[in-house]
Amino acid sequence: MVSFDHAEERPEHITNILNGLDRYNPETTTIFQDYVAQQCEYGTYDCYANLALLKLYQFNPHLARDETITNILVKALTVFPSSDFSLCSHLLPPSLLNPPPNSQVSDLAEAVQKLSGLSTLLESCQFKEFWNTLDSDDLYADLIADIAGFEDVIRTRIVGVTASSMREITRELLESWLNLDGDKFDEFVKETAGFTIQDDVVFVPLNKDNEAKPTITRENVKFDQFSRVIKRAYEQPA
């Protein structure tokens, strides 16, 4: 069982801030910002803490740092198909996703909308289009630059989605989903994903999600349900 506010490897000083009223203290902004940078560098992830930072920004807009906001959003992309990206979006200033008419779109608003577009592509499982979009503009490369191993993490997530729905998939299709080919594809699929390849078909081992076994839920009978009948039997001896 997993709880949303739980994060592996969360340092103690962050835990203390999150559990106390210091989470509202604007002075903790820098501590959270460093923590985001640390997550980007070491590939850890702590959505609950990042939401606390977005909340601080929400209350103190003058403290907000564009780079940290986009990094938090890119980190949220790496855990799709969870709802983290939309939970972060809810705490952003409304003007970013919904720029007021006749105003110049800020750099941040442009970045946020681009990332939101990426999120939509991932959520709607259009993986080929996702990679194409990512390559289409240099801005994307800038946005994901801080996040170590971004592309491989996304690939692992796509593998997860694939494993939950597929038993067999053509090599060509999976290549386009993972944006890999040749030896790199073979290595990733065999080593990281644990699938097997035969000729042009990739085989996914059976798991509880791709079994699709018909089930029948049977009635669970409890003794209590009969208590009245039994009581009656005592009350009116035949």
Q: 26 is written with which tokens?
A: 């604007």
Q: Which residues pair with 172 in a beta bridge?
A: none
Nearer to other proteins, 166 or 197 (CB): 166
Q: Tokens 């990206």 — which residue?
A: 85
Q: Please, what is the minimum distance in Å from the beta carbon of residue 51 to other proteins?
A: 6
Nearer to other proteins, 44 or 210 (CB): 210
CA atoms within 13 A of residue 195's CA, in its CB half-sphere: 26
- In whole angstroms, give the CA distance from residue 74 to residue 68: 10
Nearer to other proteins, 134 or 204 (CB): 204
Nearer to other proteins, 138 or 232 (CB): 232
Catalog residues that contact other proteins under the rule CB under 8 A. Answer: 1-6, 21-22, 24-26, 48, 51-52, 55, 58-62, 81, 83, 86-87, 89-91, 94-95, 97-98, 100-103, 116, 119-120, 123-126, 161, 164-170, 201, 209-219, 221, 225-226, 228-229, 232, 236
- In whole angstroms, give the CA distance from residue 75 to residue 167: 29
The CA-atom distances, in angstroms, between 113 and each of 22, 27, 109, 141 are 31, 29, 6, 15
Q: Please, what is the minimum distance in Å from the beta carbon of residue 22 to other proteins?
A: 6
